[in-house]
């Protein structure tokens, strides 16, 4: 193998840029010719692929999002467009791919490999932290810090006006962001897909504290539960106090990558290049219990993301 193209796909996540930078630099160090694919799967189809040097990635480690930009392309579901993407790679002599993204991105590359046998290595990058077989995905720590800063700010105004606040965070069908941020921000309630909740028990618990003189309450809700607006009304009625909903939305995806995301990005990028050099054809880089490893895309796609038992246990008291 003499060349590798690096791309980002799907939702952006802080940590992508540090991973791009390291992948380019480490590829060159290992004697490979790196290329950059701009605009994700769309760019792959349209041939927006260019040779890369260290100059192209010299000043990006502190930037959120992805300098390569991203896209979700319905055209990639069509074999003829995948063939067009393959022909662009053939024209440039690109022999392998590194894709930095989430579940949808890996599924696209899985099909691309089945069609044309172009080896690829995947780097999990999604703030949802919902990729099976790995404990960590790039962007999660930065997103949690954005949430933590936002909830801390909301606490200031909530305490000033004796209000209750519901903070809705991203995560789609995975409650990791909600649970981790609820613990980090000392929330009074956490509602997440993985947590059975009992509003009667929660109401009894908080009413006692309200009678005892507590004047501010907060709840962190995962967007996948669809409970944000309902819980806001419920808190207002149950606690007899002004309750407000704050949906953090896409602000969670932005921001300068934290130290952890920058370091993890470097380690993921090295693992991805090493995976290709070792002859792996369709592997995803994974991180579990402090150890690095690889799983085939079939293993990842046939598995289900699971949250740690300790996190679930710690949050149970916030849902009842």
Residue 232's DSSP bridge partners are none
The alpha carbon of 79 is separated from its chain's Cα centroid by a whole number of angstroms, namely 28
Alpha helices in 219-296 (DSSP H): 228-239, 259-277
The question of whether 39 is a catalytic residue gets the answer: no
The catalytic position among 12, 128, 141, 261 is 128
Specify the DSSP element, H or E, that contains 222: strand 217-222
Residue with tokens 């390569």: 68
Show the CA angle centred on residue 271, arms to residues 136 and 259, nearest 5°.
50
Phi and psi for 120 in degrees, rounded to 5?
Answer: -145, 155
Report which DSSP code applies to 195.
S
Q: How far is CA 120 from CA 6, 60, 114, 294, in A?
A: 10, 24, 11, 12
Secondary structure class of 146 (helix, strand, coil): helix
Catalytic residues: 128
């Amino acid at each position: 193998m003499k060349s590798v193209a690096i791309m980002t796909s799907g939702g952006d996540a802080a940590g992508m840029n540090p991973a791009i930078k390291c992948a380019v630099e480490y590829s060159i160090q290992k004697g490979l010719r790196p290329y950059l694919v701009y605009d994700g799967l769309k760019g792959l189809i349209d041939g927006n692929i260019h040779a890369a040097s260290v100059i192209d990635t010299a000043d990006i480690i502190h930037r959120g999002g992805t300098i390569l930009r991203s896209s979700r392309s319905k055209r990639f579901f069509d074999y003829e467009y995948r063939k067009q993407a393959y022909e662009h790679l053939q024209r440039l002599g690109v022999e392998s791919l590194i894709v930095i993204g989430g579940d949808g991105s890996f599924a696209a590359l899985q099909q691309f490999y089945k069609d044309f046998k172009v080896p690829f290595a995947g780097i999990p990058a999604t703030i949802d932290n919902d990729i099976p077989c790995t404990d960590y995905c790039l962007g999660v720590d930065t997103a949690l810090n954005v949430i933590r800063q936002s909830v801390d700010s909301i606490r200031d105004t909530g305490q000033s006006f004796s209000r209750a606040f519901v903070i809705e965070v991203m995560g789609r069908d995975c409650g990791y962001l909600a649970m981790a941020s609820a613990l980090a921000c000392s929330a009074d309630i956490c509602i997440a897909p993985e947590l059975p909740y009992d509003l009667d028990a929660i109401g009894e618990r908080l009413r006692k504290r309200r009678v005892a003189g507590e004047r501010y309450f907060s709840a962190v809700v995962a967007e996948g539960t669809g409970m944000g607006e309902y819980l806001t009304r419920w808190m207002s009625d149950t606690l007899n106090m002004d309750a407000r909903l704050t949906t953090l939305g896409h602000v969670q995806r932005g921001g300068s990558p934290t130290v952890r995301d920058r370091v993890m990005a470097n380690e993921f990028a090295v693992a991805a290049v090493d995976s290709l050099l070792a002859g792996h054809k369709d592997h995803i880089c994974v991180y579990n219990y402090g150890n690095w490893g690889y799983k085939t895309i079939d293993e990842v796609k046939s598995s289900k993301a699971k949250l740690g038992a300790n996190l679930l246990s710690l949050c149970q008291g916030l849902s009842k």
